Chain A
């Protein structure tokens, strides 16, 4: 290959990359850095009018955060949502993927479409619909429960049940997405593996345990990390359905961040919350990368 002159090497790529990269730099990278700096200031409503009112306060925001009971409440709620919701979502999407991947099933693409519909619909609209489905006196859920003799539950009004209700709705909303990825993973398992297992006399359950599950491991790791990241960002459901209540039972990290930053304009404090969220997601991703390396090495 001839060596091209400097101008020719740089000219075209620069022109093609410039629009996207400058947008990403100005409206993504700079705000990330600015947000980090902001988390060390007392940026508030007075600084909004004149940013010279903001003072550097060091680790003050992070210290306040760690001693704020509301923060710990939001953290506990979010962890509850993630650690119950993600496994439920994974189990349900794997089960439905196995169902739709069965050789016996008819109208597979119709079922797939039905399962996928909640994924594509607007979260806010769906949250409004579910508010009524959970209504204590005329909601569908309580009606179904009354058929099997269970009494009225005030799903969104009872601090004990509000989070489980949000989890149920979130799983309903997103299992179809993971299901699609699991189906692809199932179809990538070489059929010879099952044939030789059958020759060895393995039953269906043994096949699942010794072939399907291990072969799906990389897929499962990938699916769990995107689901974990998504579930950590819980916001619209509590905003629309419970406003974080009752008694802060559904207050999430992002909802708290929104309230602190955009309702009370305590933007420095809010920025420190955003970075705590980022730190958690960063560590979760590191764990995933480790696991992925581990399982693709098998």
Chain B
């Protein structure tokens, strides 16, 4: 092995340690005895393996409820957004109608408006509709996404028109073409967008924090933020909560990482 090769691997391992050690410590501290994580020098491996903090989260705290809230929101937004955005993406990719290009450009331009700008009136709207502290208050504004429409339009545009023409000659309706031909062919991009949406919703913080003010409607991130104030001293308990919060996204990511990485590339290609 050349000196260069060794140097490169030393660097690569050093960076990997930097990114991984916080996670290693998080997992390890979550299994420590009460107070063990607050020792100096810090330990990377627990002295003895304890499940007490997980049990406490599950039995005397409401973590199952927070977990379910996060899961219900992420799963329903993912499903609904795939449907709604793929329909619009299909229309932008394969239909011809006057004003299509300018409408699409308007949507793209609106992507630079930060979500925070909408939150104050959105809160008042949800208040009027009685949707504060309800799943719908998060689901409804989360369904349609301009980025999602863009991603799907790009993909469907690259499918040959001849497929659609042939189906039309066979007498298929537009809806049948969308459902039976386009969607199956667009599966890779649907997985990618589904993954983005699921992880994005799971990790989302500011809007759930604003609209979920009742404790039993908290999502995991909102609950974590609130618990970290009350239980600042319970390092091990907070680490167990952090593990439960990040574990689902890490599992989903590990299973589908190819689609995620490809999605970043697609999203970064300019028009």
A residues within 8 Å of B by Cβ? 9-10, 12-13, 15-17, 19-21, 23-24, 27-32, 34-35, 38, 48, 51, 96, 99-100, 102, 104-106, 111, 113-118, 120-126, 128-133, 137-140, 143, 146, 172, 176-177, 180-181, 184, 219, 222-223, 229, 232-233, 235-236, 239-240, 254, 257-258, 261-262, 267, 270-271, 274-275, 277-278, 281-282, 285, 292
Contacts and interface: CB of A to CB of B under 8 A. Distances in A.
The 4 closest A-B pairs by CB, nearest first: A34-B121, A20-B88, A31-B118, A16-B91
Nearest to B125: A31
Interface in B193-244: 199, 202-203, 205-206, 209-210, 220-222, 224-225, 228, 235, 238-239, 241-242
B123 A262 contact: yes
Contacts of A146: 41
B268 A143 contact: no
B45 interface: no
Contacts of B239: 129, 132
B169 interface: no
B41 A104 contact: no
A131 B224 CA distance: 12
A129 B242 contact: yes
B124 to A, nearest CB: 8
A278 B91 CA distance: 30
Interface string B31-42: 000000111111
Nearest to A268: B120
Interface in B114-138: 114, 116-125, 127
Contacts of A130: 22
Given A111-B12, A124-B221, 15 more contacts: A19-B84, A20-B149, A35-B118, A35-B120, A96-B15, A120-B249, A122-B245, A124-B203, A137-B38, A140-B25, A184-B265, A254-B206, A262-B210, A271-B120, A274-B117
Given A122-B220, A124-B225, A129-B22, A16 B117 contact: no
23 contacts: A13-B91, A13-B97, A20-B88, A28-B141, A28-B144, A31-B117, A31-B119, A34-B124, A105-B8, A113-B254, A121-B23, A124-B205, A128-B224, A128-B238, A132-B29, A132-B239, A133-B22, A180-B261, A180-B264, A219-B268, A235-B205, A257-B116, A275-B117
Nearest to B44: A140
Nearest to B40: A138
A285 B112 CA distance: 8
Contact size class for B?
Answer: 35 or more
Contacts of A48: 124, 127
Nearest to B126: A27
B263 to A, nearest CB: 10
Nearest to B16: A114
B270 interface: yes
